[in-house]
Amino acid sequence: MRDATLANGMRIIVWPVHDIPNVALYNWVRAGSRNEAPGATGLAHFFEHMMFNGTSHHPPGHFDRLMEAEGGANNAFTTDDVTVYQDWFPASGLELVLDLESDRVARLAFTPEVIESERGVVASERRLRVEDNSHGLLAEQVQASAFVAHPYRFPTIGWPADIESWRLEDLQAFYRTYYAPNNLTLTLAGDVDPERAIASVRRFFESIPAQAPPPPVRAVEPEQVCERRVSIRRKAQTPLLQCAYKAPRAADPRAPAVSLLLSALVEGDASRLHRALVEDRQLAIEVSGHWQEGFDPGLLWLSLTLPEGADPEEARRALDAELAAVAADGVTEAELERARNLATVGLWKKLATIDGKAQMLGEYEVFHGHWSRLFDAPARIAEVSTEELRAVAEEILDPRRRTVGVLVPSSPPSASTAS
Amino acid sequence: MTVRVPEYERLSLGNGVALVLMPRRDVPLVTFNAVLRGGGSCDPASRPGVASLVAGLLEKGAGERDAYAFADVVEGVGGSFGAGAGAETINVRGQFLARDQQLMLELLADALLRPLLQEEELQELAARQVELIKAAKGSDPAELIGTYGRAFLFGQHPYGWPVFGSEASLTAIDREDVRRYYDGQFGAERLILVLAGDIDADLLARMAAESFSRWPRTCTPLPVLARPRPLRERRVLLVDFPESAQTYFWIGNVGVDKRYPRRAALDLVNTLFGGRFTSLLNTELRIRSGLSYGARSSFARGSVPGEFSLRSFAQTGNTGRALELALRTLDRLRSDGVTREMLDSARAYTLGQYPLGLETAADWAAMLAEIELYGLGRGYIDDYPAQLAAVGVAEAQAVIEEAFPRADSVAIVTIGDAARIEGALEGYGLVSHMALTDPEFSGGWASGDENRP
């Protein structure tokens, strides 16, 4: 494995793997909805779309057409913290992909007609993920209520009125600030020679000038002192319950304990909450969880899908009883061992593909300070004790530091069937 | 450089079990893929979902372990174990650390040979499945559109049955149905077992022979599916989803089967039509018009022809425009065909992308099972690049005529706000109506009585 820092501050990490004749490339941009402001939410995500829509060298559509004709496919995603561009291509396509990737970092064009068309695409994506989706609709409200000061309250896809109103100047300013080489990390895994790959990256990227570092996100979310609640009535058949607890940032030293806690609670049929709420008491039909591991302290989510006609309050009380027990007594050594083993297998599954390797390298480099920390992960997982896990549970699973969201069907099922 | 099938060993136990072993040492994981021929097409016609429930019950208690003990031992070592049904198979898959490979095989043998199939577990599983369907209707109606589409297109043919059951059928299924399925449809000659990854091949071959070589054959012959008849006119199903912000649509007709001889040309033409970002369909519905977040097409190919389908969605007020554009693009494929340059681009794309699906031991376990199931031979992979290279414009045109439907003979399924889109659907053919909350996926079927068994 090799890494390098270009003169303009851009980072590159390469993991050579020769199992298949392909390469996975991830370009990590340190810009997400965390870097947005009221009135222009969703900008980072919109930018993700615009990055495929033409440069001064290549008209709109060329990026995808050239890449696909060379055997490559691509995608991208935006989170609260980062925007990530992904390419998967045959090794022979490396030069073309680097050419295209550097071109859109150096010379993005902003064509007014394309901006308007892309607004429509993003609005459609929002309708798919939020407006027509009970989980998405509720999660958006919970997240917006969980933070009062920090921009983590913004939905990554943006508020509808903002999607309608971005201006060209907003896009240009965002591009200058965040799409500078000193704000990028490129991770590559696959059928390449690391030295030659780094030399190629230099050739395409090193001439792009660095910019002043983006302004730091200064907002610090104040300590949450009381539980917040949101409730939505919507045409649906089944109720939902979501609890979002304030949780540490990704780089927190307790991160392995937080991951293992979440796993012990919700991963698999033998997990604490699945067994108690889905199997034993049949109060829920599905339990899931997610920790938003970001640059700043974020949320640990527990989500329950309830059966038709269920009382969300009863489910919440049962959930609270289970969580209180874990906060007080922790989990058993067997439960911890189970979580450790699941984490180990999960890591190997990721590392079985070039895509997983490029992704993991980037996550550790961007969120944990250095890619090499990926290789400490097994030892850090092994070190977590039941007491550490209990202490983390006690701190995080505090009802005063959570936001509870409930979605209840707006009409009884018989009435909606008749309509 | 391309991908070739790695070395593997295929053994046939005396009772008909096909055992495939593929050692592959990149990560310290072992994987199994057990495929049992049968699946949803062996369900009673009036009660789809039996095979799926049997699959779900395999890990809900087997051998000496009840459901909790089974999950405890699997997850306790970090493993995964899951089963599901397809139209023609039950599929059991799992992955464990290499150190646990003996345990893995022991658990699999228990699940297949000694499942408890308990009444209480069945009731719980069926009730939960009913609720999961209701939840999906509120959270991701697009996820279910294929199920509505197949029910409408294939009617009474088993490909039209919802494999995971409907709210109505799941409520009706009892332990007798489950028992009858297991007793009649589980047996040695139906099993393809693939073991791959960081395995001790000799040890596992020995263990598998000990576990499975005395398993009796099934007493029921595998049903031979009739070839579904394509729809010869245009029909519309409108599934009412009141207050929805968008209309989700699916357009399909009967396509081709797994052994379709022009598979390479089919892959290339579908790549061009709706299989990648710059496809004709996505270019029209997303890139040029901004009407939709995306549009795709695909072929489902089984022992007999499954469906060609295209799927997209658009804001409620744009339903008519989006449907029209999708149908016009389908028409244009037939009238304009594809050019040499388009084929070259699709060829490079397909060659560049297919190795990514054949990277891990789990990928190969799935592919080897498929090759065995449909009798495709290793040429299915090894000859693929040469077959792709040989596809010309004439063969592509032949595929368009053989496999893609004409825009005037398709089933159109829409999930959307009926009161607001009814008008937009006028003129596309006879419209059948149902509500998203209906406990079945079928509201009549498009081809009348043609696909009755």
Question: Residue A132: its chain B contacts at CB < 8 A?
Answer: 141, 241, 244-246
Question: Count of CB atoms within 10 A of residue B121's CB?
Answer: 22
A59 close contact with B: CB closer than 8 A = no
Q: At what angle do helices B340-353 and A62-69 cross, to 10 degrees?
A: 70
Q: Which of A117, A122, A348 comes nearest B28 by C-beta?
A: A348
Q: Contact A132/B245, CB-based, under 8 Å?
A: yes
Question: Residue B27: its chain A contacts at CB < 8 A?
Answer: 348-349, 351-352
DSSP SS3 for B387: helix
Interacting residues of B118 by C-beta distance below 8 A, sequence separation 6+: B57, B60, B61, B67
Residue with tokens 């057409």: A65
Phi-psi region of B282 (alpha: psi -120 to 50; beta: other; left: phi over 0): alpha
Average pLDDT for runs of 10 along chain B of length 453: 91 97 95 98 96 98 98 98 98 98 98 98 97 91 94 96 97 97 97 98 97 94 95 96 94 97 98 98 94 96 98 96 98 97 98 97 97 95 97 98 97 97 94 95 64 44
Q: Which of A65, A334, A338 comes nearest B278 by C-beta?
A: A65
Strands (E), B121-220: 191-197
Rounded-to-integer distance, Cα B409 and Cα B330, Å: 11
B128 close contact with A: CB closer than 8 A = yes
Is A190:A22 a contact under the CB 8 Å cutoff?
A: yes
**What number is the ipTM of this complex?**
0.94
Q: Contact A308/B131, CB-based, under 8 Å?
A: yes
Phi, psi of A130 (to 5 degrees): -120, -60
Give the model confidence (pLDDT) of A316-358 as tens digits. 999 999 999 999 999 999 999 999 999 999 999 999 999 999 9
Q: Which helix (H) or strand (E) holds A349?
A: helix A333-351
Question: Residue A270: its chain B contacts at CB < 8 A?
Answer: 68, 71-72, 74-76
The H-assigned helical ranges of B58-118 are 67-76, 101-113
A70 close contact with B: CB closer than 8 A = yes
pLDDT score, position A417:
36
Rounded-to-integer distance, Cα B374 and Cα B303, Å: 7
Strands (E), A199-267: 228-234, 240-247
- What's the predicted TM-score (pTM) here? 0.95
A21 close contact with B: CB closer than 8 A = yes
Q: Which of B96, B97, B349 comes nearest A68 by C-beta?
A: B349
CA distance B176 to chain A (A): 23
Q: Which of A68, A124, A234 comes nearest B276 by C-beta?
A: A68
Is B51:B39 a contact under the CB 8 Å cutoff?
A: yes
Average pLDDT for runs of 10 along chain A of length 419: 97 97 98 96 94 93 96 97 98 98 95 90 91 94 98 97 90 93 98 98 98 96 98 93 98 97 98 98 97 97 97 98 98 98 97 98 97 96 97 98 96 42
Q: Which of B26, B132, B351 comes nearest A71 by C-beta?
A: B351
Take residue A245 and report the two structure tokens written for it.
């607890």
CA dist B304 → B47, B86, B308, B409 (Å) = 22, 14, 13, 20
Q: Contact B79/A235, CB-based, under 8 Å?
A: no
B348 close contact with A: CB closer than 8 A = yes
For each of the domains in chain A, give its residue range(s) and CATH number, in order of start.
2-205 (3.30.830.10), 228-418 (3.30.830.10)
Q: Which of B78, B137, B245 comes nearest A345 by C-beta?
A: B78
Q: Which positions 222-251 of A are in contact with B (Cβ < 8 Å)? A: 234-238
| DSSP labels, A383-403 | H--HHHHHHHHHHH--GGGEE
CA distance A67 to chain B (A): 8
Question: Residue A131: its chain B contacts at CB < 8 A?
Answer: 245-246
Q: Contact B26/A131, CB-based, under 8 Å?
A: no
Strands B29-37, A402-409: pairing kind = unpaired
Q: Contact A124/B292, CB-based, under 8 Å?
A: yes
Residue with tokens 């009673």: B44
Q: What is the 3-state secondary structure (H, E, C) of chain B?
A: CCCCCCCCEEEECCCCCEEEEEECCCCCEEEEEEEEECHHHHCCCCCCCHHHHHHHHCCCEECCEEHHHHHHHHHHCCCEEEEEECCCEEEEEEEEEHHHHHHHHHHHHHHHHCECCCHHHHHHHHHHHHHHHHHHHHHCHHHHHHHHHHHHHHCCCHHHCCCCCCHHHHHHCCHHHHHHHHHHHCCHHHEEEEEEECCCHHHHHHHHHHHHCCCCCCCCCCCCCCCCCCCCCCEEEEEECCCCCEEEEEEEEECCCCCCCCHHHHHHHHHHHHHCCCCHHHHHHHHHCCCCCCEEEEEEECCCEEEEEEEEEEEHHHHHHHHHHHHHHHHHHHHHCCCHHHHHHHHHHHHHHHHHHCCCHHHHHHHHHHHHHHCCCCHHHHCHHHHHHHCCHHHHHHHHHHHCCCCCCCEEEEEECHHHHCHHHCCCCEEEEEECCCCCCCCCCCCCCCCCC
For each of the domains in chain B, give its residue range(s) and CATH number, in order of start.
9-212 (3.30.830.10), 235-435 (3.30.830.10)
Give the model confidence (pLDDT) of A133-163 as tens digits. 999 999 999 999 999 999 999 999 999 999 9
Q: Find, among B185, B174, B177, B92, the residue nearest to B126 by Cα.
A: B174
Q: How many residues does chain B have?
A: 453
